[in-house]
Structure 1
Amino acid sequence: MTKPLLDTLRATLAGLTVAVTALAAPVHAGERNTSLDYAHATPAQQRLVDDLERRTFDWFWDSADPKTGLVPDHYPGESFSSIAAVGFGLTAYGIGVERGYVTREQAIERTLATLRFFKDAPQNASEDDATGYRGFYYHFLDMKTGKRFDRGVELSSVDTTLLLGGVLFAQSYYDRDTPKEKEIRQLADDIYRAVDWRWMQARPPLISMGWTPGGKFIPADWKGYCEGMLVYVMALGSPTHSVQPAAWKAWTSTNDKTWGTYYGQTFLTFAPLFGHQYSQAWIDFRGIRDDWNREHNLDYFENSRRATYSQRNYAIANPGKWTGYGADVWGLTASNGPGDVEDGGRAFKGYSARGAGLDYVEDDGTLAPTAAGGSIAFAPEIVVPALDTMKQRYGKSIYNRYGFVDAFNPSFHDADATLRTGRLVPSLGWVDTVQLGIDQGPIVLMIENWRSGLVWKVMRRNPYIRKGLERAGFTGGWLDEAPRKP
């Protein structure tokens, strides 16, 4: 396996297994989501967001293989496929229809190609001749063969879940009485029903992070607030292999240990912002509450809004004295970085789950625009100015045909270093040269959720999502209403 892939796999697993912790202080009245909505944004702000949404959509449309629907992990350049990126792509295609980027027929054809591939892909316990097993899929797939990319790649419960986010979006979005849209709905149903969530419960009632033919189940489970929220909702909603509600109770059982105050906000922590964004890109948690929410008098959406403010406050304080940090330049999450090198006595990393919270702090001066962009639905009043400032200040180097590059680091200037990815820009520092699908996804989905609520509205209509939330104990808000079309 190549070193970059090993870096990615190790960093991904590290990001998944980080302990969770929590933060903050009372919400200041002035910071309440007063909130900037798209209709009241300035024309310049609207143009900024419109342009970013279109460019980010184009990344998915241009990078995906039109025959299989496989979306690369990173692009431009040669890459393996990330099944999570496929899930974001399937959702982006519906957004593209609504925005007029592509026709409905174009999106249908791309979606059908994708779903047909995953429905028919080989599922078995072999090391090298499978795309998945027991309804789950390998984290990374070969872009040409569609099979497991490498023996170091795990059968991933969370990445399968993110793929299913797009699958179920397609099931509910393509609702017309035509042969092709009927086929989309049936394929989506078949793919979702095939996932054997109970088998993935190596240590019930929790769900394992994954499995490999050689090593069997990964010795780590989804427990504690993180992107695993969507794993449990999907597993609870299954009509064929559902887990018991005790799984949700077990997942939330450590929440009180990770609830506290960090940089001016009180909330349930997960240091990298992707842990707040991934589940909520598809599910509207505004106004719905589980038992833990009711005890703490907030919903998970409000929790993530506070997490977003906390990250901005951290950047303003800038305890690490990194170059560029401030009120409108901030954002730590899982992303690329310069590499595992030192510069000026300071350590830098390649791909890593960067973040700042009570659970941990990992900050090497690398900023990821998706950390802010993917949080636009939570706190647009601070996100839009951040996107604008980063584009204005660094746009020549970090903003291109497909929107923001994955990450940049104004503190790194070692011209002799062997970079993992990216390039050095003398007047700026390290700048990535690619975008990652799992970082592009939150940007385009959450921009649309902020603008129209499209993804949330579509997913509200999905009976499996609704069932999963109800079995987890969520009540209130839109769950108390009859499903409606967007």
Structure 2
Amino acid sequence: MDQRFVREKAGMAPDDAGLLDAVQRACFQYFWDGAHPHSGLARDRTGKNADPKNDLVAAGASGFGFMAILVAIERGWIERQAALGRIATMLTALEQTKRYHGVFPHFFHGRDGSTIPFSRRDDGGDLVETAFLLQGLICVRQYFGAPVPEETALRDRINHLWHAVEWTAHIKHDEKVLYWHHSPRYHFARNIPIRGWNEALIAYVLAAGAPRHGIDADIYHEGFATGSQFINRRDYYGINLPLGPDYGGPLFFAHYSFCGLDPRGLSDRYADYWQQNCNHARINYQHCVENPHGYRGYGPDSWGLTSSHGPAGYVVSSPASDFGLIAPTAALCSLPYLPEEAMHALRHFFQLPQAKMWGRFGFVDAFSQTSGWFARTYLGIDQGPVVAMIENHRTGLLWNLFMGAPEVRDGLLKLGFSSPHFAVAPPPVLEPLG
């Protein structure tokens, strides 16, 4: 595609496009040069200067990695044939990975596919991580659509993994909600129902559209779309929030599921999801501008609260739980929602001390100017959505691929969604059941 046309369509100046190229390409390298050397799958995290000395890979991060590879092909950073070879290696590793009713664990061994427990009782299937993985795989299947043996075989392999997922195995008897985890040893002991507004919408869409072992629509309406943190409709900083916890929660709620799901014009009886995500991002931005805690470095050019590393370990930041940490991924992934504000942040991040702020895979995971702390790490679930969401703003590549999948259309229609991708009149907005 002509890049001048892309820039004009996205409302970007040529220098903006160069900055976005640099950030996307550096983040992509996390999944290319920084991938596990045997499986090609994505590490959960890695160092600014060196890879970790372990074989741990992550299902969700690998899903974002598949998406990043597609962007790299389109932008000419890698050859299509090289990408096909890497993807084939990754699929072989996934086929050899221990699964639970077809559901992948959160973490597993990059050489032998054995499960690496996330915690003592989380040693089995993780439905949300699996949904993020499948989001990427479905995009790959849609991208490689040529009627040639190599691409036909790739599509067949992806379909085998996708069709094997037993979504109904993550429903307890007599309940109408999906559960995040299921362990062969501890069963539902982790006891985390996937309900209320969060990052897991993608799991319900895929579960509803699955050609095998799918769920009925009432599992979504009586499960996900319930609870005290689903409907909101209150104002924060003068901005109305349709769904979610107070102040919207971490910004990854507006990113992870929407690397594939196109929120533009997407609606159901509960919300317009473009408005939801734009308002969520605006509240997060405005919180950093007003800076009620007086943290150093916050402002209109430095904003973004989400999950990240922090001085004392992994934290989930939001306006309601603010630790003084800015995560570049939060602002960069919000480019589709707040393009001017995101570009201001991107330029500002380049003005910070580059020896501390930038490394082999782009901007470090997070920083705190209050404490003078800069991460020396990257997280796969932060680097991957940067590539995807920037590309969606620029060309719509991944949105068009994912929304073009017939199972995605079927799942959304089954749950009562409308979208310009399939031109169905939106349903009226109602309160959730229960």
Q: Same fold (TM over 0.5)?
A: yes
Q: Would you say 1:266 and 2:240 are equivalent positions?
A: yes
Q: Would you say 1:335 and 2:308 are equivalent positions?
A: yes
Q: Would you say 1:216 and 2:187 are equivalent positions?
A: yes
Q: Would you say 1:81 and 2:57 are equivalent positions?
A: yes
Per-residue deviation, 1:292: 1.2
Task: Give the partner amino acid of 1:352.
Answer: V
Equivalent residues of 2:38, 2:111 under 8 A apart: no
Q: Would you say 1:164 and 2:134 are equivalent positions?
A: yes
- CA distance in 2 between counterparts of 1:172 and 1:476 reads 19
Residue 427 (structure 2) aligns with: none
Q: Would you say 1:90 and 2:66 are equivalent positions?
A: yes
- CA distance in 2 between counterparts of 1:231 and 1:256 reads 16
Instruction: Find the partner of 2:369 among 410, 413, 425.
Output: 410
Q: Would you say 1:301 and 2:247 are equivalent positions?
A: no
Could you tell me the TM-score, scaled by structure 1's length? 0.80
RMSD of aligned residue pairs (Cα, Å):
1.7
- CA distance in 2 between counterparts of 1:242 and 1:96 reads 33
Question: What SS does structure 2 have at the residue aligned with 1:446?
Answer: helix
Q: Provide the identity percentage.
A: 32
Task: Give the partner amino acid of 1:235.
Answer: A
- CA distance in 1 between counterparts of 2:357 and 2:8 reads 26
Residue 77 (structure 2) aligns with: 101
| Structure 2 unaligned residues grouped into runs of 5+ | 1-6, 425-434
Equivalent residues of 1:193, 1:240 under 8 A apart: yes
Residue 42 (structure 1) aligns with: 13
Question: What SS does structure 2 have at the residue aligned with 1:198?
Answer: helix
Question: What SS does structure 2 have at the residue aligned with 1:138?
Answer: coil
- CA distance in 2 between counterparts of 1:371 and 1:324 reads 15
Residue 390 (structure 2) aligns with: 447
- CA distance in 2 between counterparts of 1:42 and 1:137 reads 42
Instruction: Find the partner of 1:353 among 304, 316, 331.
Output: 316
Equivalent residues of 2:250, 2:316 under 8 A apart: yes
Residue 432 (structure 2) aligns with: none
Aligned residue-pair number: 402
Aligned positions of 1:13-92 closer than 5 A: 39-65=10-36, 67-76=38-47, 77-78=51-52, 79=54, 80-92=56-68
Task: Give the partner amino acid of 2:44.
Answer: D
Q: Would you say 1:400 and 2:359 are equivalent positions?
A: yes
Task: Give the partner amino acid of 1:468.
Answer: G
Residue 415 (structure 1) aligns with: none
Equivalent residues of 2:39, 2:111 under 8 A apart: no
Equivalent residues of 2:131, 2:203 under 8 A apart: yes
Residue 340 (structure 2) aligns with: 381
- CA distance in 1 between counterparts of 2:324 and 2:236 reads 19
Residue 16 (structure 1) aligns with: none
Could you tell me the TM-score, scaled by structure 2's length? 0.89
- CA distance in 2 between counterparts of 1:45 and 1:95 reads 18
Per-residue deviation, 1:393: 2.6
Q: Deviations over 1:86-134 (max 9, x none)?
A: 100111111111000111111111111112221233xxxxxxxxx2210
Q: Deviations over 1:137-184 (max 9, x none)?
A: 110112333211136344211001101111111111110112111111
Q: Would you say 1:242 and 2:214 are equivalent positions?
A: yes
Instruction: Find the partner of 1:275 among 253, 260, 266.
Output: 253
Equivalent residues of 2:94, 2:113 under 8 A apart: no
CA separation of 1:62 and 1:256: change in aligned 2, threshold 3 A: closer
Per-residue deviation, 1:253: 2.7
- CA distance in 1 between counterparts of 2:28 and 2:116 reads 25
| Structure 1 unaligned residues grouped into runs of 5+ | 1-35, 122-130, 294-298, 340-349, 413-428, 482-486
Residue 134 (structure 1) aligns with: 101
Equivalent residues of 1:265, 1:306 under 8 A apart: yes
Equivalent residues of 2:196, 2:230 under 8 A apart: no
Question: What SS does structure 2 have at the residue aligned with 1:355?
Answer: coil
Q: Deviations over 1:218-273 (max 9, x none)?
A: 21201111111001001001111010000121211346642311122101233100
Task: Give the partner amino acid of 1:165.
Answer: Q
Moved over 6 A (4+): none
Q: Would you say 1:477 and 2:423 are equivalent positions?
A: no
Task: Give the partner amino acid of 1:193.
Answer: H
Per-residue deviation, 1:285: 2.0
Task: Give the partner amino acid of 1:405.
Answer: V
Instruction: Find the partner of 1:288 among 266, 273, 298.
Output: 266
Instruction: Find the partner of 1:115 among 91, 105, 114.
Output: 91
Greater mean alpha carbon deviation, residues 268-277 or residues 86-95: 268-277
- CA distance in 2 between counterparts of 1:318 and 1:366 reads 12
